[in-house]
Amino acid sequence: MTLTQLRYVVAVDDHRNFSRAAKHCLVTQPTLSAQVRKLESHLGVEIFDRGTNPIRPTEAGRRVIRQARVMLGEMERMRELVHGDDEVSGELHVGVLPTLAPCILTQSMAELTADHPGLRLRVEELRTREILDALDKGRLEAGLLATPTDNAALKERPLYREPFVAYLAREHQLWDSKRVQADRLQQDDLWLLREGHCFREQVLELCADMGWEGSEPPGLRFESGNLETLKRLVEVKGGMTLLPKLVLYGMSEENREQVRPFEEPAPVRTIRLVHRRTCGKKAILDAFADGLVNVVQREMPELMS
């Protein structure tokens, strides 16, 4: 059994495809497949069911993969012990919410990898429950979430607090308002994300605080899977939606005219970095968190006050 074989097995589990896993590992597919077969022969089990598409691990394979991730994590920890906790190099696989501002995240990643050439970042957009499931199974090393996890196995680091803003159609009845009062939101013209997005759940909590009956007030339009589509729905079909404030970064001046802040106290969410307590990549995690906070502080310093 070799560490290379363990890395290949984990890569196949991540990509659920031998060809993509080989490309990620910078080897040919026959080389990767042969090493996975050697590990299966050594252990006396089939790790992957090759008859499924995408490829899935067998029951025994899931146990092997979980332990492989633990062993590879311990190797990363040994590297830190040898080279010191301040070395920012290696790979970090992070799950992020689709509602996190892509411009801010892209900017922080570009600056971080420029400052640390030995660092490789893999970022995947996932919903909250998918991030938590991937952290539990070891497929992710960290996640950016907007809700507490209440999981003792995970460590949370609050990064910044992000208010909600309203995005209005130009003919909307609240257009002339400089600030929006939450109790003036209408049930029949509010576009929200589809079920399963934590931002949708947070908006529904705001609706409940306003006294709207039920967890899903009648008349609300649940249409979209992403914020850009929500904006387009407002622009084309009218009504309004709610957005996290950092979406304003990179937004055109014309579109910014359609944004209204809320009256205080404004609804807000806390963005936090989450990782397993046993994760051995402290220096990388710290650098990733600090890099994101630095960009937010530079572009929208009011969020850090």
Closest CA to 304 of 99, 147, 294: 294
Domain with CATH 1.10.10.10 in the chain: 1-84
What local confidence, expressed as pLDDT, does residue 224 receive? 60
Cα(127)–Cα(147) distance, rounded to whole angstroms?
11
- How does strand 90-96 pair with strand 142-145? parallel
Cα(123)–Cα(106) distance, rounded to whole angstroms?
10
CATH node for 1-84: 1.10.10.10
What local confidence, expressed as pLDDT, does residue 111 receive? 92
Write down the pTM of the prediction: 0.72
Cα(201)–Cα(267) distance, rounded to whole angstroms?
13
The CA angle 220-225-226, to the nearest 5 degrees, is 105
Domain 88-305 has CATH 3.40.190.290: yes
- How does strand 190-193 pair with strand 221-224? parallel
Cα(139)–Cα(227) distance, rounded to whole angstroms?
26
Domain with CATH 3.40.190.290 in the chain: 88-305
Mean pLDDT of the chain: 85
What local confidence, expressed as pLDDT, does residue 214 receive? 46
Give me the residues of the chain with pLDDT under 70, please. 80-86, 187, 208-225, 304-305
59-83 helix and 3-15 helix, angle to the nearest 10 degrees: 120
